[in-house]
Structure 1
Amino acid sequence: MTYSVKETFSPSVRAPSGAPGTPGAPVTTPDPGALAAKVRTVAPSMTRSMQRVADAVAGDPAGCARLTVTALAVRTGTSEATVVRTARLLGYPGYRDLRLALAALAAQQATGAAPAVTADIAVDDPLADVVTKLAMEEQHTLADTAAQLDMTQLEAAVAALAAARRIDVYGVGASSLVGQDLAQKLLRIGLIAHAHADPHLAVTNAVQLRPGDVALAITHSGSTHDVVDPLRAAFDVGATTVAITGRADGTVTQYADVVLTTATSRESELRPAAMSSRTGQLLVVDCLFIGVAQRTYEAAAPALSASYEALAHRHTPRAGRA
């Protein structure tokens, strides 16, 4: 029996997911402990006024839980409508439900059951505080990415990669580094994989793919043209396409048979979004690699051993050198 990812995950048959608060959309109220993670995930898609509301409720859940919708609007310099829209975007039917979640979150934090939201790094922060804040943010990103990974989509991506004749990986900037990491991992277990950072070469290679090959795009924003274009070209020629992105509604998903989402966090002055997005991307890459290595273990194990042996002599001092 031939496994076909495209038949199952083609965008033409994938049902669109409704946003919270829209007619017909399923309402799933987040657990209070997941509120801070939800704020980090949806913040990039918020307006500036909505971000002020989200920052307030995530930064001071106990204080905001005591405020009426009018009082919170005044505190954040926004409007009551903005507060309600923010609550709905965070996954709550209305502000009353958000207040209940804030009260529960405050209680959890008081007992140490839920961590406080990590503050942005300030210019005058001591280096020790920088280390603590970065470590906490990295932990959040990893935990959030793991929690939201769709196992069905991950399994489909692993199956496609394991059976692929050839694998092309596309990414630019920080995502290019992640793509190179995935490609070299796959090469070491005997798969034919290449990472393309040059957008022209990426498209040139993409049109040479065929059904059974895999094209994998990595783009945090989901809309980087230099990554979307080669994936679209690969999709058009029938290759199985995979996207790793921080935006499930990004343009890249229109051409992806399989979509793997990573957690997002808002960019700050001293911490570009690329730093946290790369952390989530690397976790997904490691999950893909381990899944493929498990599925192809009989061939992967000796290939990995051979690569270790080939590189071993490069760590040994040559004769005649100190």
Structure 2
Amino acid sequence: MTQDHSLVREPQQNLLEVIRTLRPELRKSDRKVADVVLDDPRLMLNDTVAELAARAEVSQPTVLRFCSAIGCSGYPDFKLRLAQSLALGMPATHSALEISDTPEQIIEKIFDYTLTSLDWARYHLDKTALSQAIDLLTAATRIDFFGFGASGIVARDGQQKFPLFGVPCAVEVDLHQQIMQASMMRQGEVCVIISNTGSTRSLMDVARTAKERGAAVLGLIGAVDAPLKGYCDVVLVVETLENTSIYTPMTSRIAALVVIDILSTAVALRRDSNEEHQKAFIAMKQRLNEARFG
């Protein structure tokens, strides 16, 4: 059986998500171990090899083979990475919300799902593309943010960070206004398109219009194979864990907000090498504190 081990070469990834993803490719006996682990992973923290083998009704060599198949160097490494994964929260497969859930269960599930999904997004973020995005925004003379729905909220947050970006920033969440704004963009400006699906036709029109006007296009997209990528100069794929529950919290929005924070902070740090910008930013913070506290 041929297995794709691209997921298991990164030890920082959440082990429970690695097991969930690789499970269909495992041998039948290894899948029995995977099912026991995923069913109640906290029980595994104190289990010996023999105890886990008994729970899964397999041999001890099968448990060791399972550890190797999911990218662990042995059983101790498996338990260590399992403990680290549990510290980050239970995976999405354990976080589906149900009508019968108590407030305590809702708290645990939403926090677990959000923490795990953010961790997943963190280690799947392309660092090279991130550096390119920072370069693009640092050189921008103006930045315009575009998005709909939850992505529109992220776009508004991006515009709120304009003191960090150090240049005029605007946000448009209305379709007609978006087309108008994109049509007025020019060379040296950056159009930031935020879309979790990356398939909204009108946002592709906005991106194409901005490019025709000479602006650079940065895409914050949640889907790896999104058609919107073809309209962007730089793409940041902000990938979160898929959860089909109808009550799923908007972790895609939270992950995108974190990326906006990363971008704005990184740009501010670069601009702070300019003494004039640094003085202006400090003065702005002082005035803001005076307005808040008198």
Deviation of 1:302 (Å): 2.8
Q: CA deviation at 1:188?
A: 5.2
How big is the shift at 1:106? Answer: 11
Describe how 1:15-30 pairs up with structure 2 within 5 A: 29-30=6-7
Asked whether the 8 Å contact 2:222–2:239 carries over to 1, the reply is yes
- State whether residues 215 and 231 of structure 1, in contact with CA within 8 Å, keep that contact through their aligned partners in structure 2: yes
- What is the aligned partner in structure 2 of residue 137 from structure 1? 113
Aligned counterparts of 1:257 and 1:246: Cα–Cα separation in 2: 16
What SS does the aligned partner of 1:112 have?
Answer: helix
Give the alignment partner of residue 69 of structure 2, picking from 101, 119, 123.
101
- Partner in structure 1 of residue 170 of structure 2: 194
- 1:123 matched to 2:94: no
1:167–1:214 Cα contact (<8 Å) kept:
yes
Q: CA 1:163–1:132 in structure 2 vs 1: closer, same or farther (change >3 Å)? A: same
| Separation in structure 1 between the aligned mates of residue 66 and residue 231 of structure 2, nearest angstrom | 35
Q: Does 1:289 align with 2:257?
A: no
**Aligned pairs for 1:1-322 within 5 A:** 29-31=6-8, 34=13, 36-37=16-17, 57=23, 65-66=30-31, 101=69, 108=78, 112-115=83-86, 116-118=90-92, 119=94, 120-187=96-163, 190-265=166-241, 266-272=243-249, 275-297=250-272, 298=274, 299-316=276-293
Q: C-alpha distance in 1, partners of 2:21/2:165?
A: 44
Aligned equivalents of 2:85, 2:285: Cα separation in 1:
42
**2: CA distance, partners of 1:315 / 1:62:** 62
Please report how far the alpha carbon of residue 176 of structure 1 lies from its aligned counterpart in structure 2 after TM superposition. Answer: 0.9
TM-score, normalised relative to structure 1: 0.66
| Structure 1 contact 214–241 (Cα < 8 Å) conserved | yes
The answer to which structure has the higher helix fraction is 2
Going from structure 1 to structure 2, the CA distance change for 1:103 and 1:145 (only over 3 Å counts) comes to closer
When residues 307 and 154 of structure 1 are mapped into structure 2, their CA distance, relative to the original with a 3 A threshold, is same
SS in structure 2 of the partner of residue 215 of structure 1: strand
Q: 3-state DSSP class of the match of 1:294?
A: helix
TM-score by length of 2: 0.72
- What SS does the aligned partner of 2:247 have? coil
Consecutive unaligned residues of structure 2, counting only runs of 5 or more, are 33-64
Which letter does structure 2 place at the counterpart of 1:287?
A: I
Following superposition, the deviation at residue 313 of structure 1 comes to 4.4
- CA–CA distance in structure 1, aligned partners of residues 67 and 104 of structure 2: 34
RMSD: 3.3
Secondary structure of residue in 2 paired with 1:308 = helix
Find the aligned partners of 1:244 and 1:121 in 2 and give their Cα distance.
27
**Change in 2 beyond 3 A, CA 1:313/1:64:** farther
Equivalent-residue separation in structure 1 for 2:193 and 2:66 (angstroms): 36
Aligned equivalents of 2:188, 2:205: Cα separation in 1 = 20
Distance 1:203 1:37, change over 3 A: farther
1:253 alignment partner AA: K
Alignment check: 8 A CA contact 1:244 1:260 kept: yes
Deviations 1:68-104 (A, max 9, x none): xxxxxxxxxxxxxxxxxxxxxxxxxxxxx99963595
Match of 1:90 in 2: none
Q: Size of the alignment, in residue pairs?
A: 246
Provide the rounded CA distance (Å) in 2 between the counterparts of 1:232 and 1:98: 48
* CA drift at 1:36: 4.8
Map of 2:35 onto structure 1:
none
Unaligned runs of 5+ in 1: 1-20, 22-26, 40-53, 68-96, 318-322
Cα separation, 2, equivalents of 1:221 and 1:230: 15
Q: Percent identity at matched positions?
A: 26
Measured in 1, the distance between the counterparts of 2:200 and 2:164 equals: 29
